[in-house]
Structure 1
Amino acid sequence: MVWTILATVVVGIWSYALILLWQIRSAVPYLRNQPDVFLDVAESRNSSRWPRVTVVAAARNEERSIEGAVRSWFGSDYPNLNVVVVNDRSTDRTAEILADLNNHYPSLKVHHVTELPEGWLGKTHALHLGASDMKSEWLLFTDADVTFHPKAIRKAVVFLETHRLDHITCTPDSKGGTWASKGLLSIFAASLLLYFRPHKILSPESSATAGIGAFNLVKTSVYRQIGGHLEIALCTGDDLKLGKLVKLNHFRQMMLFGNGMISVPWYKNVPEAARALEKNLFTAFNYSLPTAFFASACAFIAFFAPYIGIFFASGFQEISFAAAIAAQLAIFRYMGRLTGVPMTAALSVPLNAMSIFYCVMRSIYMAKKRGGIMWRDNLYPLAELREKGKI
């Protein structure tokens, strides 16, 4: 009886996930496939036709990546572009590198933050500051290690204006990492994609929304209307929350696949990923232990029960577990292609699931041990984050 219930549950979960992924795949466009000119080609050649876009990035100890990122932004062929970088209390050579870049790109605007105001996370404060005095029509929030294809911004703006949108966000390519950390990426990316339900984001009746830190392009007037980053000042998942604020205020948004257009380095190994994701994963459960453990238990059953059941069950149950495994492999084969993860890594589902469970459990353990979330050398108490860090 137990095996029958378990088999029915897991085959239902993975069948639903496969159907959902198929809907997403059919509905979500690729940025690389979008035109980079308006229908009126003559207008496209007129630089005044293109609205001003300001790239805003927060940098904290980014000496390894900031130069390549800034050079890629200025390498854009977009005809009306500003770039603002906020150096958030860096202790490495970030400020020095930005000064050298400023000599090469005089239009680069750099802010230096030496003290963090109370009630803010370092990143949300830096992004809010960087966007505060800009007069451009569009704000493109990104991370200090993200690089763009020269046509990425142009294609995004054409898409926005053609579809009369207020906000778009794009998934990036993730470069680098070991075999194991790339396998973890396939699980992480699949979880986010199924959570976002991007094929439903445009519908005002749906609660689906998305925001990705590598590429959040939002109309400046909309950003001002929602209060900038003020309402999400203590949200560690600020990128996702920015998208949620846009949707809650009834503006139009979409998500695109940015493969080939937007790139971000992935973590070198699983321990590095666990440290980096430490601030985000417990946040997903609103810092609630019961919620975190219940969700983790359900996910554990969904991932591992098919592999256990196929050895101990028989008949219809065994067939159901095999079907669940087949659905898993189909999902992660697609995610491997989407994220650039080698198939051998993407299809090692049990190993990858163990990696993500390790990251989640570590995030919970470190938060409870410290009594808060440590980010950019500041400790934020869990009680404060629960009260002020949700929308």
Structure 2
Amino acid sequence: MIYYMLLFIFMLLLTIVNIKAMPKLKRYEPDSKTPQPLISILIPMRNEERNVKRIISSIKGLTYSNLECVILDDQSTDQTRTQLLKEIHGDPRFTIIEGKELREGWVGKVHACHQLSQAANGDYLLFVDADVELKERTLEHTLATAQATKAALLTGFPRFPVKTWLEALVVPLQHVVVFSYLPVVVANRNKMSKASAAHGAFMFIKKETYEAVGGHEAVKSSLVEDVHLAQLFKQKKHRVILANITSHVSCYMYETTEEVWNGFAKNIFVGLGRSAKAVWVLSFFFACYYVLPLPFFIAGIFTGNMLWILPFCIMLFQRFLIDRSAQQKGLLFCTMPASAIVLMLLMNHSMKRERKKQGYEWKGRHYQ
């Protein structure tokens, strides 16, 4: 039992190191002698009518002066374009382009991002999802951080406001994975491609480097193009920085429990390299680390055995620190055992769909 408890102490210390090591967006100090580089904000949209008002409003509120925003309407069948025209209302900084027919061998979002990059004029490209909201000084602080760290690609996991019960259980686990298991110091200072994490909702890229590595075309068939693009940058010896952007960027990922389930089912097995072994190992570990401490805790309460009580307390404290760093809801950390169970179910569901060659449905398109 002592060794079991030592595992929790080690994981807690690793999490604290990762929280401290992950850079936050820096304060911007403009140089009056140096012109501001042009930043192109690039947004792929497919049936995003519910998100149009929020994202356009937040971009209009940005204080960075030298920007353009290019939006690709990816053959939407809802009121996306109508809503865009209404919210943009003639603002010359915005351009709407029509998405071309999806080409064979491409994933829809990757194809859209590729078209957006071709239409961009900026020195820097900021790929954001339509469900994102940006604070007013996001561009200044992101640019300053990228320049200070010499990052060719700066990315981060946004703050995730959650509404539905399944979203609350699953979506914040993205921060848990990054802060608990990714060696942030190694990921940010080393060009080892395996030590990479990225989030497609916020990808700030130096255009010159983006074009040199082949851009989205180089990862055209990927369902987790953000991670594969980050790995590609590292393989080409360019610096990738994972930053804590939760103070500036929020992402409203899903509206319904069905969207949550399908969204994670689409990405999770692919993100694990389509490895059944990885699913089994992670399921066993999550059961031991996040679920088993609860019955031990209950037994410890009745027997007065502190060694049985401590693992659960340490695990919850670890999750509390992560949620605080990610600006997540106050008491959500208490649901960690239930979150782990749902994640295990999702991993196995995603793996079974892959093995049965059922593929995945997303945004009205089918992917294998």
| 1:196 positional shift | 3.5
Q: What are the equivalent positions in structure 2 for 1:123-142 lying under 5 Å apart?
A: 123-142=109-128
Q: 1:198 aligns with which of 156, 178, 184?
A: 184
Residue 222 of structure 1 pairs with residue 209 of structure 2 = yes
Q: 2:8 maps to what in 1?
A: 14
In structure 2, the gaps of 5 or more residues are none
Output one character per residue of 1:123-158: Cα deviation in whole Å (capped at 9) or x when no partner. 000001100242321110110111111100011112
Which whole-Å CA distance do the structure 2 matches of 1:65 and 1:146 have between them?
8
Which whole-Å CA distance do the structure 1 matches of 2:343 and 2:284 have between them?
13
**TM-score, structure 1 as length reference:** 0.85
| 1:195 positional shift | 3.9
Q: 1:91 maps to what in 2?
A: 77
SS of 1:212's equivalent in the other structure is coil
Q: What are the equivalent positions in structure 2 for 1:104-123 lying under 5 Å apart?
A: 104-123=90-109
The 3 A distance-change label for structure 1 pair 324 and 213 is same
Residue 162 of structure 1 pairs with residue 148 of structure 2 = yes
| 1:101 positional shift | 4.2
Q: 1:26 aligns with which of 20, 28, 31?
A: 20
Which whole-Å CA distance do the structure 1 matches of 2:50 and 2:85 have between them?
15
| 1:57–1:144 Cα contact (<8 Å) kept | yes
SS of 2:27's equivalent in the other structure is coil
Q: 1:151 aligns with which of 137, 149, 164?
A: 137
Output one character per residue of 1:290-349: Cα deviation in whole Å (capped at 9) or x when no partner. 4322322222222222233456689xxx65443322221111111222334333321222
Letter in 2 for 1:35: R
The 3 A distance-change label for structure 1 pair 310 and 154 is closer
In structure 1, the gaps of 5 or more residues are 382-391
The 3 A distance-change label for structure 1 pair 14 and 117 is same
Which whole-Å CA distance do the structure 1 matches of 2:186 and 2:345 have between them?
31
SS of 2:188's equivalent in the other structure is coil
Which whole-Å CA distance do the structure 1 matches of 2:134 and 2:165 have between them?
25
| 1:232 positional shift | 1.2
| 1:204–1:250 Cα contact (<8 Å) kept | no
The 3 A distance-change label for structure 1 pair 51 and 363 is same
Q: 2:54 maps to what in 1?
A: 68
Letter in 2 for 1:305: L
The 3 A distance-change label for structure 1 pair 76 and 319 is same
Output one character per residue of 1:198-248: Cα deviation in whole Å (capped at 9) or x when no partner. 332232365522321221101001101110012211111112222221122
Which whole-Å CA distance do the structure 2 matches of 1:166 and 1:249 have between them?
11
Which whole-Å CA distance do the structure 2 matches of 1:375 and 1:356 have between them?
19
Using the aligned pairs only, state the percent identity.
22
| 1:118 positional shift | 0.4
Q: 2:167 aligns with which of 170, 177, 181?
A: 181
**TM-score, structure 2 as length reference:** 0.90
Q: 1:333 aligns with which of 308, 320, 330?
A: 320
Residue 37 of structure 1 pairs with residue 29 of structure 2 = yes
Q: 2:364 maps to what in 1?
A: 377
Q: What are the equivalent positions in structure 2 for 1:204-283 lying under 5 Å apart?
A: 204=190, 206=192, 207-268=194-255, 270-283=257-270
CA RMSD of aligned residues (A): 2.6
